[in-house]
Homo-oligomer: A and B are copies of this chain.
């Protein structure tokens, strides 16, 4: 599977450049074995240590922390420890999730546990977490502990969501609720993005409460983002997604298109339920994708992604933001969900309504 370096919006490129030196400094303090794993996940080098122009972390959370500071009119530099912390935590969660899910491909490359073993990957994740907290608690003044507590709340959400997700995948299909699933999505993707907004705001010297609308928008985006992930895992361009097709279906994950299809009442749902209980060879996977589509699971999931992204955008409109920051936030949230930079054009509020 070829690795494609996807296009990113200018604001995300700016966030990556913003966070990179401090991130490299934090990781350079690791024992060499752990630094190697971390840099591989950040996309800095290949399994053998040679520099790559591969696809690393998208740095969406770091971007949100940076923009949150700019949103309250502060110098983004104040949010740097927060941007670094959320970037570290995002990669911590990927390292641990790939072990938990047994996924062997991420961003078009073998996952860390495949390359370096479970032990080193697990420990590297732990080291990233400790480095994130270290950076926040080193901030002078009362903002550091507030930011650290916010980060810890996000971590708690993420960990609990991952646990509920695996209960999901092992429980009976009939017991699944779409609302539960969306709640888990929020914990998986939205919690850290929302906390990044709060952390950036707090480090910029503004009250945490001022970030609550951004947090809510991030939670909406978390849902839309997971819905899009679920779609791309079945019908996406594998080179762009960086994962093999049908990875979720193959491991019988209860993703949104599957849940929606199974609960649709459509005749295809029964065949799908039977199919998912049997052996899943390539033919069966193709058939499953067709049945999910026929039962309306694909259309439903698209609609979830569309409406939640639109709700997030509407929330941004309620904020009195500097226009440049407003546009950057639209770029960020849109990119988080669509994975493609939007074509910028002057947007009026009525045009998006």
Instruction: Report which A residues bind B (CB closer than 8 A).
Output: 30-34, 96, 99-102, 118-120, 122-123, 126-127, 129-131, 133-134, 137, 144-145, 148-149, 152-153, 155-156, 159-160, 162-164, 166-167
Contact = CB atoms under 8 A, between A and B. Distances in A.
A126 B160 CA distance: 10
18 contacts: A33-B163, A96-B122, A99-B119, A100-B118, A100-B119, A101-B119, A120-B163, A120-B166, A123-B162, A126-B159, A127-B156, A127-B163, A130-B152, A130-B159, A133-B152, A134-B149, A134-B156, A145-B148
Nearest to A33: B163
A159 B119 contact: no
B99 A118 contact: yes
A127 B157 CA distance: 10
A167 B33 contact: yes
The copy count of this chain in the complex is 2
Given A101-B119, A122-B122, A126-B96, A134 B163 contact: no
Contacts of A163: 30-31, 33-34, 120, 123, 127
Contacts of A133: 133, 148, 152
A34 B32 CA distance: 32
A191 to B, nearest CB: 12
Nearest to A37: B163
A160 B144 CA distance: 24
A118 B119 CA distance: 11
A116 to B, nearest CB: 11
A120 B160 CA distance: 11
Given A31-B167, A33-B166, A33-B167, A145 B137 contact: yes
A101 B123 CA distance: 11
A129 B129 contact: yes
B118 A130 contact: no
A159 B30 CA distance: 9
Contacts of A159: 34, 123, 126-127, 130
Given A34-B163, A130-B155, 4 more contacts: A31-B163, A33-B163, A96-B126, A145-B148
Contacts of A96: 122-123, 126
Nearest to A35: B163
- Across the A-B interface, give the 9 residue pairs with the lowest CB-CB distance, nearest first: A100-B119, A145-B145, A31-B163, A137-B149, A130-B156, A133-B152, A126-B159, A130-B155, A127-B159
A167 B133 CA distance: 25
